[in-house]
Amino acid sequence: MRDAMASIGLREMLRGARDGGGAPCGRLTRVSLSLPVDPPSARSLTGVVPQILASLEGRGDWFPSARSAVVLVVDGLGRANLTARAGYARFLTARMTKRDAARTVFPSTTAVALASLLTGEMPGRHGLVGYRVRIPGTALAPNQLKGWETDGLDPLTWQRSVPLLERESAAGRPCFVVSQSRYAGTGFTAALQRGAEFIGAASISERVERAADLALRHPGALVYAYVPELDTIAHARGWESDEWAAGLERVDGAARDLDTAIGSHAGAILTADHGIVDVPRQRQILLRDGDPLVDGVSIIGGEPRMLHLYADDGRAAEVAERWRDAEASRSWVMSREQAVDAGLFGASPDPEVVPRIGDVLVAARSAVAYYDDREADKKPQNMIGQHGSLTDQERIVPLVRLGAFG
C-alpha cells in the first residue's frame, strides 16, 4: 500500500546532512519536503469503535451485524510487522485480506492512538498530541501515559473528548475493559476508559478468555481487551528478534482461541495502535551541549522518532530552519502551523489544544531516532523498537475481523 504525497510548499537546500550524530558529509542536495497523505479509501483508527457500535445496531458499513463485540488491541503490531513475520502468525495472516487495514493517527504513539480509538476523535480534538507534551504556559512536558500521576494531569479535562465507553455505558450498554491489573485506577484509564467495568487478567490467553465470556454473556456488550506485551518486547529486543516472533505466536494463538470461542455469536476486531521500526544504536542521533540543533530549544518533547521542539520566545523560525538544513534528508521538519495546516492533528484542532503542539516538529522518515543526551537517564537509549512518525510501517495497522465479523 503506497501513500500519495502532498507537498506543504517547501523546497530546502540541505547542507551537510548529519549521519548518526557525526560530522557533516558536505553534500548539497535539493529535496522537496512532502508529507504522506492517506488515500481517500483509507480507514482511520478513529472510525473503528464507532463502526463496531453501528454494527451492534445493525447499521454498520465496515462490519456485519453482531449481538456483541470485542476490540482486541495488540500494542505495537503494525501490518507490515505482521506480514513480514507471517510464519509466526499463520492464523491472523490467513484471515487478513488486503482491505483489513487501518491508518493510525499522528503521532503514531500509544497515548495518542488509544485516545483516538476510544474517543473516535483526532488528536487535535481530544488533546493528547504526543508522548511528552508541554502544558501551555509552563515548563512542564509530562508523559501522556503516566503524567496523570506524576504531573497532576486531570483525566477529566486534559483529555477533552467524551470517551465512547462512558457514553455507551451511560446509554445502558454493557461495557468492559479487560487488561493487566496494573492499569486499574490509573489516570490514563480514567481519561479514556471510564464508564466501563475494569477486569484485570494477567496473561494474554486469560484476557482473551475473559473478553469472549463477557461478550457471550452480555448481549449488546462492547468489550475492550488490551495486549501490551508485544510492544514491550519490541522496545527491548526489536520486532525482528526471536523474542518478538515468539510473542507474535502467542498473540496468534490467542486470536484463534477468541475466534473459536465467540463463533458467530459475537464479533471481534484485532487491531493495533501503531507499528514498529527497529533503530540500531548506531542510527541514534544524540543531541548534546554545544550542538546547534539544541540552540534556542527550551524543551525537547515528543519521543525519539517524533520530536516536539518547544523554542525559546521568538526563535521558532530559526530553530526550524536550522533543523531543516541539518535533518531534512532523513526527517520531515515542519512548524506547528504547517503541521496544523496539513491536517496532521485533524481537520479542525481545538484552539486550546494547538499550543500543546511543539513549535517545530521533527518526524523521522528513515531508521533514525533522536535523543537528548543531556538527560541523566540513559536507559531510553537502550530501546530498539521505536515508533511515532509518519511512515507506513508505523501508521498502517491490521484490522482483522473475527467471529461474526469474519
**Could you give the domains of the chain?**
45-121+161-277+392-403 (3.40.720.10), 278-386 (3.30.1360.180)
- Rounded to 5 degrees, φ, ψ at 361 are -115, 140
Q: Are 271 and 52 in contact (CB under 8 A)?
A: no
The number of residues in the chain equals 406
Q: Which amino acid is at 273?
A: D
Please name which of 313, 294, 312 lies closest in space to residue 362, comparing C-alpha atoms: 294
Could you read off the pLDDT of 200-209 as tens digits, one per residue? 999 999 999 9
Residue 300, CB-side half-sphere exposure with 13 Å CA sphere: 20
**Dihedral sign (CA 235, 241, 244, 248):** positive
Q: Which amino acid is at 331?
A: S
User: Cell digits for 241?
Assistant: 528478534
Q: CA-CA distances (angstroms) from residue 108 to 104, 145, 370?
A: 6, 14, 16
The pLDDT, as a whole number, for residue 33 is 55
Q: Which amino acid is at 261?
A: A
- How many angstroms separate the CA atoms of 270 and 72, rounded? 5
Q: Which amino acid is at 192?
A: L
Helix pair 48-56, 110-119: axis angle to 10 deg: 30
- How many angstroms separate the CA atoms of 46 and 41, rounded? 14
User: Cell digits for 22?
Assistant: 557525526
User: Cell digits for 98?
Assistant: 488486503
User: Cell digits for 88?
Assistant: 509466526
Q: CA-CA distances (angstroms) from residue 206 to 37, 146, 163?
A: 39, 25, 25
Q: Are 399 and 46 in contact (CB under 8 A)?
A: no
- How many angstroms separate the CA atoms of 315 and 293, rounded? 12
93 exposure class (CB count in 10 Å sphere: 0-12, 13-18, 19+) = middle
Residue 277, CB-side half-sphere exposure with 13 Å CA sphere: 26
Could you read off the pLDDT of 101-139 as tens digits, one per residue? 999 999 999 999 999 999 999 999 999 999 999 999 999
Instruction: List the chain pLDDT tens, one digit each, 406 residues.
Output: 333 334 444 333 333 333 333 333 333 333 345 888 888 899 999 999 999 999 999 999 999 999 999 999 999 999 999 999 999 999 999 999 999 999 999 999 999 999 999 999 999 999 999 999 999 999 999 999 999 999 999 999 999 999 999 999 999 999 999 999 999 999 999 999 999 999 999 999 999 999 999 999 999 999 999 999 999 999 999 999 999 999 999 999 999 999 999 999 999 999 999 999 999 999 999 999 999 999 999 999 999 999 999 999 999 999 999 999 999 999 999 999 999 999 999 999 999 999 999 999 999 999 999 999 999 999 999 999 999 999 999 999 999 999 999 9
- How many angstroms separate the CA atoms of 372 and 132, rounded? 13
Helix pair 242-262, 204-217: axis angle to 10 deg: 20
- How many angstroms separate the CA atoms of 324 and 257, rounded? 49
The H-assigned helical ranges of 263-381 are 316-327, 336-341
DSSP secondary structure letter of residue 139: S
In which order are the strands placed within the sheet that holds 360-364?
A: 297-303, 306-311, 360-364, 331-335
Three-state DSSP state, 386: strand
CA angle 229, 379, 360 (to 5 degrees): 90
Q: Are 170 and 164 in contact (CB under 8 A)?
A: no
- How many angstroms separate the CA atoms of 143 and 131, rounded? 6
